[in-house]
Structure 1
Amino acid sequence: MNQTLRHVFYIDVLRCLAALAVIAIHVLGPLRELYNVIPLHQWLAAVEINALMRWAVPIFIMISGALLLQEQQPFNLQHYLTRRVVKVVIPFLAWSVIYALIAGYSGQNGSFTQFITIIENANNEPTWYHLWFFYDFIPLYFIIPLLALMIHKLGHERIKLLITGWLLLTLVNWLNIETPLRVNIVLYSGYLIFGWYLANHTPIHTRWLIVGGLLAAATNLVGSWYWSMLKDGYSSFFMGYKTLNTVLIAGMIFTLCKQYSEQIPLYLKPVIAHLARYSLGIYLLHPIILIPIRDLNNGVYDWFGHNIVAIPFITCIVFILSYGATRLLSSWNVTRWLVP
């Protein structure tokens, strides 16, 4: 395993940005369903921020591709399973139970029976909304060693052809054209290869990737507004994680961080690197911090006057509190494994 890339600073920047973006998506989540309930400008602020943050989950997968597809040493199954797979699977299972307890006993009708029902359904439905990610992410660990072998056997031009085909597939998926290849394992695997490619190569047409990302972001903004007005409510047409617009934005974010992260002031770099160490724990834990905020319904957002201010501010507060809770859990031997 190439150990140098693991500590490249732009990877830390990407982890922090992705964690912040995920929290922002979940902070504004309840507001998306309040069309015609809150003023239109308040609702649009939430929807448009949502439209700009959808690259967060793909970036997490691209980081995994950038790091784990570097493998060129002989593959050791036991080491891989214990050091990679188990370190994610066990916390996922534990947090699934924790959130099932929260969901089962929350509200006036909470009971042990409700908890058991949630656990029984967990084979198909996550026990809490953000855990869906692991249902798609964990299977990727079982094909990463095969992808690592493949990409080191293929030439540069064949890899570019593979990425081009995947980009076309994401467009097909976005347009809802039926094909047997429209499955999560294929579409998300493309992000692994895309992340590896951007980490190890400087694309000749980097400027066009950035232009494409900016155009995709503008399309998301305008399109989300337009489709929502047509539907007379929230539209997720531009929000898919497996669509071309999201790929282009994620590629732009990855490229910009790789090119410009070193320009961040020196005194901030240790802080960002430290926060990045806890990004997975922050992802796993932050919905607990959000529970009291969501219980206040829209009242907490009104404190800030406008959602364009409220959402970023609450996102930062939740990020800080989630970091503090994650740091606390990681300092105890009994709970450290919960926040790898």
Structure 2
Amino acid sequence: MGDANRMAWLDCLRLLAGLSMLVLHCTADPQGGAWADFPVADRIAPLALRTLAYAARTELFIIISLFLLLLSLENRPHGYRQTIAEQSRRLLIPFAFWSVFFGIFSLIKAYHFGYGPAKLAALSEVHTWVGFALLGNSKYHMHFLPTLFAVVLAYPLMKKAIAAPWLGFIALVFCLVVRWQLDGFFYPRFWDEPGMRAIARLIKISTHVGYGMIAAAALGIWLRRDALDLPSWFLPMAYFASLLLVLKATGTWITLESGRWSHNYAPGFWADFLMPAVLFFLAMLLGERRWPPVFSHLAKYAFGIYLCHPIFLDFCEILLMDSTLSPIGQVLFKIVLTLVATSALVAALSRIPFLAWTIGLGRLPGLAKPVQTKGAA
């Protein structure tokens, strides 16, 4: 079986992650909440859909990205400085472009929802742009790129888990324990403090190294696949995934009753943050099977779909501002229109040589060879 087909399972995961984030963002109400202004019965469908979509969150992107990075370094070793320089171009140049774009583009929604002057005033402040650059808060999804880059900086630590995969499993669990404890300490005490966003981002970056460790563990197992019967582990892993879905469902039930996201519910936390790793392993265990080639064709657009979908989601929410549709009606409207329009935009950008790099395709500024930001999505 050729290498291209062996990586088709990764392409499937990339596509799944990109689409799931689009669906996830469409399932919240216009304020990012859990449809608290609607009866409980009306919340069931959108929250159930969100539970499934949230199984493949941005942490899955991180695992994929580090797996591919470590695999490339196994095949073609590079020094630390060269590797980081290349990753900074692939991740931070598109990040800078989209941070500026969304910082300005967000004015459209702001003026339609009545907070345009405040948004415009914020854009005139230096600290706003510093936040865009360091925290990735120009839009709700832009945090991913600087977070991924920061995690990539620690890739030498992850190499140990290639040789000893058990280390990656322990590291992920340990990092999640640390995150749960630190979140529980800092959020109640410093929620309204100006520096809380920076604290939260530091906690996230430092503990997300665990996802790089589990990616390295997965690579160690994948490189030894000829001596292992990987498919035989699929059913036990699927059983574990089903238990995590049950835990996710209990968290959704609490949100359904209260109309608020259940951030402090420990079983939901563990289910949410373990599921991306479990999904990755489920696909990897079947990696030697033949996967439909359409996944590999469409996966190259996944990064662009992730980056661009808030453009049309904003327009959808403007159109639905005075809508009388039920929550699930609004959600389906947003998903269909956002997916179709985003796909069209990404396909168009991919065909424009001087803009294709903005969605991880084509030639990056300052590079002589065309590269694809494949790991980022």
- Output the TM-score relative to the length of structure 2: 0.73
Q: For 1:98, give the aligned amino acid.
A: F
Residue of structure 2 aligned with 1:276, choices 299, 313, 328: 299
Q: How does 1:76-91 map to 2 (within 5 A)?
A: 76-77=79-80, 79-91=82-94
Q: For 1:61, give the aligned amino acid.
A: I
Instruction: For 2:145 and 2:214, locate their aligned partners in 1 and report how far apart those are by CA, in whole Å.
Output: 20
The match for 1:46 is 46
The match for 1:96 is 99
Which SS does the other structure have where 1:29 is aligned? coil
Taking a change above 3 Å as real, the CA distance of residues 298 and 51 of structure 1, as seen in their structure-2 partners, is farther
What is the percent sequence identity of the aligned residues? 19
How far did 1:87 drift? 1.4
Judge conservation of contact 2:59–2:211 (CA < 8 Å) in 1. Answer: yes
The match for 1:167 is 173
The match for 2:311 is 288
How far did 1:329 drift? 1.4
How far did 1:101 drift? 0.9
Taking a change above 3 Å as real, the CA distance of residues 165 and 82 of structure 1, as seen in their structure-2 partners, is closer
The match for 1:212 is 240
Judge conservation of contact 2:158–2:216 (CA < 8 Å) in 1. Answer: no
Point out the more displaced range, 326-335 or 17-26: 326-335
Q: How does 1:312-327 map to 2 (within 5 A)?
A: 314-327=334-347
Backbone CA RMSD of aligned residues:
3.5
Judge conservation of contact 1:209–1:248 (CA < 8 Å) in 2. Answer: no
Instruction: For 2:120 and 2:217, locate their aligned partners in 1 and report how far apart those are by CA, in whole Å.
Output: 48
Which SS does the other structure have where 1:58 is aligned? helix
Q: How does 1:143-292 map to 2 (within 5 A)?
A: 143-144=154-155, 146-152=156-162, 155-156=163-164, 159-171=165-177, 173-174=179-180, 183-201=203-221, 202=230, 206-226=234-254, 228-229=256-257, 231=258, 233-237=260-264, 243-260=269-286, 266=292, 269=293, 271-292=294-315
How far did 1:129 drift? 1.0
Judge conservation of contact 1:15–1:279 (CA < 8 Å) in 2. Answer: yes
Instruction: For 2:158 and 2:260, locate their aligned partners in 1 and report how far apart those are by CA, in whole Å.
Output: 43
Taking a change above 3 Å as real, the CA distance of residues 247 and 235 of structure 1, as seen in their structure-2 partners, is closer
The match for 1:56 is 57
Judge conservation of contact 1:65–1:194 (CA < 8 Å) in 2. Answer: no
Question: Structure 1 stretches of 5 or more lacking a match?
Answer: none
Which SS does the other structure have where 2:26 is aligned? helix
Are residues 1:139 and 2:166 paired?
no
- Output the TM-score relative to the length of structure 1: 0.80
Question: Structure 2 stretches of 5 or more lacking a match?
Answer: 187-201, 222-229, 361-377
Q: For 1:164, give the aligned amino acid.
A: I
Judge conservation of contact 2:17–2:57 (CA < 8 Å) in 1. Answer: yes
Which SS does the other structure have where 1:333 is aligned? coil
Instruction: For 1:279 and 1:313, locate their aligned partners in 2 and report how far apart those are by CA, in whole Å.
Output: 21
Taking a change above 3 Å as real, the CA distance of residues 278 and 239 of structure 1, as seen in their structure-2 partners, is farther
Taking a change above 3 Å as real, the CA distance of residues 205 and 170 of structure 1, as seen in their structure-2 partners, is farther
Instruction: For 1:75 and 1:203, locate their aligned partners in 2 and report how far apart those are by CA, in whole Å.
Output: 33
Instruction: For 1:214 and 1:200, locate their aligned partners in 2 and report how far apart those are by CA, in whole Å.
Output: 25
